[in-house]
Amino acid sequence: MSLSVLISASEAVPFIKSGGLADVIGVLPRYLRRLGHDVRLVLPRYYGIDKTKFGLKPLAGVLVVPMGGAGDEYCAVYEGSLPDSDIPVYFLEHEGYFGRSGLYAENNVEYADNDRRFIFLSKGSLELCKMLDFFPDLVHANDWHTAAIPLLLNTTYRHDSHVGGAASLLTIHNMQYQGSFPPATMEILGVGWEHFTFLGVEKDDRVNLLKGGIYNATLLNTVSEGYAAEIQTPAQGWGLEGVLRERNRDLFGILNGVDYTEWSPESDPYITANYSAGDLGGKGLCKADVQKEMGLPQRGDVPLIGMVGRMVTQKGIDVFAEALPRLLELELQIVMLGEGEPWAHFYFGGMAASHRDRLSVCVGYDNGLAHRIEAGADFFLMPSAFEPCGLNQMYSLRYGTIPIVRGVGGLDDSVENFDENLLAGTGFKFHDLTAGALFDTVGWALHTWYNRREGIDRLRQRGMAVRFTWEGAAEKYDRLYKMALKRRSGASSDTPPRATRQ
């Protein structure tokens, strides 16, 4: 059965990216399309999205978006497509909301009107269906930015000519960010105050858009099975564990796939030399080159550890910072690429300046360098405090770069711990979020490097053979979509709006 699906999100490659959400949204639709679905994507037209480069064309007419007490707002809609596909992508162009240099924040300060900006995106996505005369069977929302959609579908848009019958799926890519705003945000949402309750969008006397989405979506999923279980506990639920437990029959885990057209050492255009599991010769050249690029001594014998990612507490950089002085006493090299919290830029930059032969840090965002680190490094470190899925450890496996990870969420699901006796596994794992555990595990990896090379070779070969395909993940989404539709059609017409459509 082919379905009509509207996916609404705040970022997608190749148009705009701040993290893994963009990787997922830019690729999943392609595989859903291959399954025969009519998939369409809605994004904000941020200032950073170049209309000429992506060949975006304006649609005729103006989109009217009712913004509750704030009255109607208007925007232009531009149409493009995911490159090399027939998947339409619609961009809502509102200069006041999206004509800014940042996506969510500037200079580490969140925009004060993020509630308006993303409620506008959520409502605009639904209004757009009228403009396109599109009747989605299901609307797929992602993270807090579009989590208002399930609530809106259950209330304001319940009897809408185009989306009134649609089921909804909310994918949670990260529980930490919930879209929490003052009660006045209710006016912008434009739904009745009866929804500002414990069993609705209210949390700690504030509007919590993610919570509203969790209560109202027909079905829910996160981006790994491990994380789906973890977020139902106080340690990882960020205060919403109770709500998630209430809905746990409707909550699923689907591990993200990897876009192997972008991340494969055999064909990667960003790296110095291509290589494969059968011929790893090029990997040594990639290592020498990334050492040169990052200003480290070009030594093949010393293990090179790579790190790429947002420098924020989620990624365990505080624990890494604590372990770093001891790590730098070992015979190793570390390259880091990322940006995030200012203290981290300062601290890691300072440590690099005083350990030039061992540590090199690039503060910034550089896709090409991210590829070259994946290819050139021997190990890839991800000591995350929590990790809904995590993509870099999956890229690392493909590049023969052995992951050293904390066993949480998607990291735990995608990396198998090294077994010294059987020489099995795909990486090194630790569990305690402490500098000691991190240090010991890097020590274990280094010991293996220096003393048990056959272990390294086996880990590499096994990792390079693993695949996390989008074909597989898309089939699981396909099943969830169909399950959601069944739930939706089974719902009686007088289901109370805040209740889930089961």
Token pair 């601290």 is found at 347
Instruction: Give the count of alpha carbons within 13 A of 468, CB side only.
Output: 27
SS3 of 105, please? strand
Considering only CA atoms, which of 198, 202, 194, 207 is closest in space to residue 154? Answer: 194
Quote the CA–CA distance of 168 and 487 in Å, as a whole number: 10
17 or 195: CB nearest ligand ADP: 17
C-beta separation of 311 from 340 below 8 A: yes
Quote the CA–CA distance of 347 and 115 in Å, as a whole number: 33
SS3 of 274, please? coil
Nearest residue by C-beta to ligand GLC? Answer: 20
Q: Check binding of 166 to ligand GLC (CB under 6 A).
A: no
Nearest residue by C-beta to ligand ADP? Answer: 20
- Among residues 176, 367, 417, 461, the one that binds ligand ADP under rule CB under 6 A: 367
174 or 401: CB nearest ligand GLC: 174
Q: Check binding of 370 to ligand ADP (CB under 6 A).
A: yes
Q: Check binding of 223 to ligand GLC (CB under 6 A).
A: yes
To ligand ADP, the closest distance from the beta carbon of 230 in angstroms equals: 15
Stretch 407-436: interaction string toward ligand GLC, x if CB under 6 A: ---x--------------------------
52 or 101: CB nearest ligand ADP: 101
Torsion sign over Cα 52, 56, 57, 63? negative
Q: Check binding of 256 to ligand GLC (CB under 6 A).
A: yes
To ligand ADP, the closest distance from the beta carbon of 377 in angstroms equals: 13
Instruction: Locate 327 and state its tokens.
Output: 């790590």
188 or 362: CB nearest ligand ADP: 362
Q: How many CB atoms lie within 10 A of CB 345?
A: 16
Quote the CA–CA distance of 137 and 166 in Å, as a whole number: 5
What's the CA dihedral at 471, 474, 476, 479 to 10 degrees?
A: -120
Considering only CA atoms, which of 105, 90, 174, 73 is closest in space to residue 136? Answer: 90
Q: Check binding of 126 to ligand ADP (CB under 6 A).
A: no
Q: Residues 385 to 404: which contact ligand GLC by CB under 6 A? A: 387-391
Q: Which does 310 bind (CB under 5 to 8 A by kind): ligand GLC, ligand ADP, none?
A: ligand ADP
Q: Which of 17-25, 359-367, 395-403, 427-435 is the region at the interface with ligand GLC (rule: CB under 6 A)?
A: 17-25
To ligand GLC, the closest distance from the beta carbon of 57 in angstroms equals: 29
- Beta pairing partners, 44: 92
Q: Check binding of 142 to ligand GLC (CB under 6 A).
A: no
To ligand ADP, the closest distance from the beta carbon of 381 in angstroms equals: 13
Q: Which does 81 bind (CB under 5 to 8 A by kind): ligand ADP, ligand GLC, none?
A: none
Considering only CA atoms, which of 288, 287, 295 is closest in space to residue 362? Answer: 295
Q: Which does 365 bind (CB under 5 to 8 A by kind): ligand GLC, ligand ADP, none?
A: ligand ADP
To ligand ADP, the closest distance from the beta carbon of 182 in angstroms equals: 27
C-beta separation of 425 from 418 below 8 A: yes
469 or 502: CB nearest ligand ADP: 469
Instruction: Give the count of alpha carbons within 13 A of 302, CB side only.
Output: 19
207 or 210: CB nearest ligand ADP: 210
Q: Check binding of 173 to ligand GLC (CB under 6 A).
A: yes
20 or 265: CB nearest ligand GLC: 20
Task: Phi first, then psi: give them for residue 39, nearest 5 degrees.
Answer: -105, 135
Stretch 96-135: interaction string toward ligand GLC, x if CB under 6 A: ----------------------------------------
Quote the CA–CA distance of 265 and 371 in Å, as a whole number: 9
Q: Check binding of 179 to ligand GLC (CB under 6 A).
A: no
- The H or E element that residue 425 is part of is none
To ligand GLC, the closest distance from the beta carbon of 318 in angstroms equals: 16
Stretch 339-358: interaction string toward ligand ADP, x if CB under 6 A: x-------------------
Amino acid at 278: G
Cα–chain center distance at 459: 26
- The H or E element that residue 307 is part of is strand 304-308
- Residues contacting residue 349 through CB under 8 Å, at least 6 positions apart: 361, 363
Q: Check binding of 315 to ligand GLC (CB under 6 A).
A: no
Q: Which does 312 bind (CB under 5 to 8 A by kind): ligand GLC, ligand ADP, none?
A: none
Considering only CA atoms, which of 393, 284, 294 is closest in space to residue 334? Answer: 294
SS3 of 332, please? coil
Give the residues lining the site for ligand GLC (CB under 6 A). Answer: 19-21, 24, 173-174, 223, 256, 387-391, 410
Residues making contact with ligand ADP (CB under 6 A) = 19-21, 23, 308-310, 337-339, 365-367, 370, 389-392
